[in-house]
């Protein structure tokens, strides 16, 4: 056991103090909830029902943060962890996968109740994913003489090979890149964005450097010769709009049939640059697309925060109708325009912030609106302007159940009611969960 003593004076707990806890239930963010002498303790590395010893890390806003250092009475769902759990954010890696899904379902229901004051009659079923090789997007960092992920809640670089999140051949590629990390650091490389297609046959890399990428192009081009790399681009961290194509094809592409089961989608495809936002899980994203498509059964659909247009293009290809796709990020918008072009005029692209689009748009009565915002959720302005446009249905896709619950409360207060809640395990062994909520105007 780590040096320290079992505390009987909770109010004076300092970093390193050791306390005994009985773990109660999961919390948003990956820790578990326990209590010690009346105070809430959020503890990592535990499972509900266990009796543990934990070392205090720090306190914030009256809540104690701690980590498990000894399991006194373990859960039958506890399992060994390969590699460092902090690498890749694998805060659930020690929990049997079946139990992970149950805990994530509980987290959704609890967040809706506590943060959104919304009671779900049942906890939603979580669509599972294979636990390994699921990621087709990754951001790699250069630091400490290493290339890899960042450890959770730190700036320390860790080895991706122990996480199992990427395909084995992708791990080998990153290992080959890491062998040249000194040259990458000398060239001013800060991050390397990686994108693959669903089968993993295409792999495009995008390098972000501190200065002008043209001045270090010769140092970067050898990356393109590594086995598996199909494209290489670079940009400056201070001027991200200026992109330099160094080799190959700067994006990856999948036929739309890889994401939708309909046989009537023709030859439509979805391309994306490594720096563009795209769903990360190659196994579950078709289920996510199917859910959003089935929940937007309207002649008019507006896709806000459209990214490269996965939802908008899928809906248009399957059902037709009128689809407006709104995206502000220049890179994602470029991909969106190309992906939507074969489906013109069914898909109309608006390159603008969501706030600006809603300010300028007319009423949306009769329409279904898809929102898939960043982790921060919807701004107050977006919520206000959206409810004023009065769409019949809102389909809210989120990777952060806490901010989603907050926004759902505002939408319910404005006259919407929850119709369906679905959940998807886009990041197995982590605390992250993707949720899709359909709301109807009352």
Which tokens sit at 109?
């229901």
Q: Which residues contact 17 (CB under 8 A, 6 or more apart)?
A: 4, 5, 7, 55, 56
- What does each C-alpha distance from 411 to 15, 28, 173, 305, 414 come to in angstroms? 41, 21, 45, 18, 5
Q: CB–CB of 400/110 below 8 Å?
A: no
Average pLDDT, the chain: 93
Token match 């792999």: residue? 203
Compute the average pLDDT of residues 147-167: 92
The dihedral formed by the CA atoms of 354, 390, 413 and 325, expressed in degrees to the nearest 10: -30
Ramachandran angles phi, psi of 379, nearest 5°: -70, 160
Q: What is the pLDDT of residue 241?
A: 64
Token match 């329409």: residue? 367
Sign of CA dihedral 150, 111, 92, 24: positive
| E strand residue ranges, 30-162 | 32-36, 39-44, 51-60, 63-73, 126-127, 137-143, 146-150, 157-158
Comparing CA positions, the residue from 442, 430, 437 lying closest to residue 403 is 437
Q: Residue 47 above 90 pLDDT?
A: yes
Q: CB–CB of 158/236 below 8 Å?
A: no
Residue pLDDT, tens place only, 333-369? 999 999 999 998 999 999 999 999 999 999 999 999 9
C-alpha 400/C-alpha 356 separation (Å) is 24
Which tokens sit at 137?
């997007």
Q: Residue 262 above 80 pLDDT?
A: no
Comparing CA positions, the residue from 399, 367, 366, 361 lying closest to residue 277 is 399
* List of domains in the chain: 10-78 (2.40.50.140), 137-196+203-248 (2.40.50.1070), 254-441 (3.40.50.150)
C-alpha 227/C-alpha 137 separation (Å) is 18
C-alpha 119/C-alpha 136 separation (Å) is 35
Q: What is the pLDDT of residue 114?
A: 94
Q: Residue 237 above 90 pLDDT?
A: no
- Reported as a pLDDT band with limits 50, 70 and 90, residue 138 is very high
Residue pLDDT, tens place only, 160-208? 998 999 999 999 999 999 999 999 999 999 999 999 999 999 999 999 9
C-alpha 347/C-alpha 324 separation (Å) is 6
Q: What is the pLDDT of residue 12?
A: 57
pTM of the prediction? 0.93
Comparing CA positions, the residue from 154, 140, 151, 224 lying closest to residue 185 is 140
């Amino acid at each position: 056991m780590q040096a320290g003593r079992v505390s009987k004076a909770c109010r004076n707990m300092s970093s390193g103090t050791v306390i005994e806890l009985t773990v109660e239930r999961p919390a948003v963010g990956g820790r578990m909830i326990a209590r010690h002498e009346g105070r809430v303790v959020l503890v990592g590395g535990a499972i509900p029902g266990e009796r543990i010893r934990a070392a205090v890390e720090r306190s914030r806003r009256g809540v104690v943060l701690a980590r498990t250092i000894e399991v006194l009475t373990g859960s039958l769902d506890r399992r060994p962890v390969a590699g460092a759990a902090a690498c890749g954010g694998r805060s659930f890696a020690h929990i049997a996968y079946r139990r992970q899904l149950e805990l994530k379902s509980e987290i959704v229901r609890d967040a809706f109740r506590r943060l959104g004051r919304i009671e779900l009659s049942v906890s939603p079923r979580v669509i599972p994913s294979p636990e390994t090789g699921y990621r087709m997007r990754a951001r790699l960092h250069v630091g400490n003489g290493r290339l890899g992920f960042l450890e959770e809640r730190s700036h320390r670089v860790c080895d991706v090979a122990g996480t199992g999140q990427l395909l084995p051949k992708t791990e080998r590629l990153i290992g080959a890149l890491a062998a040249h990390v000194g040259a990458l650091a000398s060239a001013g490389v800060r991050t390397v964005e990686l994108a693959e297609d669903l089968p993993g046959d295409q792999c495009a890399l995008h390098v972000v450097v501190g200065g002008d990428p043209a001045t270090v192009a010769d140092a970067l081009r050898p990356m393109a010769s590594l086995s598996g790399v199909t494209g290489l681009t670079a940009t400056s961290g201070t001027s991200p709009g200026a992109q330099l194509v160094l080799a190959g094809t700067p994006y990856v592409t999948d036929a739309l049939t890889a994401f939708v089961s309909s046989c009537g989608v023709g030859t439509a495809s979805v391309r994306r640059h490594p720096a563009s936002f795209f769903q990360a899980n190659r196994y579950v994203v078709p289920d996510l697309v199917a859910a959003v498509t089935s929940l937007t059964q309207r002649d008019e659909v507006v896709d806000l925060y459209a990214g490269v247009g996965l939802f908008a293009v899928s809906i248009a290809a399957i059902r037709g109708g009128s689809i407006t796709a709104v995206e502000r990020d220049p890179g994602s918008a470029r991909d969106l325009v190309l992906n939507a072009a074969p489906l013109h005029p069914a898909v109309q692209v608006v390159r603008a912030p969501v706030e600006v689009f809603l300010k300028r748009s007319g009423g949306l009565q009769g329409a279904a609106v898809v929102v898939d915002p960043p982790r921060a959720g919807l701004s107050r302005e977006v919520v206000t302007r959206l409810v004023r446009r009065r769409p019949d249905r809102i389909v809210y896709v989120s990777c952060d159940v806490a901010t989603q619950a907050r926004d759902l409360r505002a939408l319910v207060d404005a006259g919407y009611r929850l119709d369906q809640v679905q959940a998807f395990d886009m990041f197995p062994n982590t605390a992250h969960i993707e949720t899709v909520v359909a709301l109807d105007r009352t």
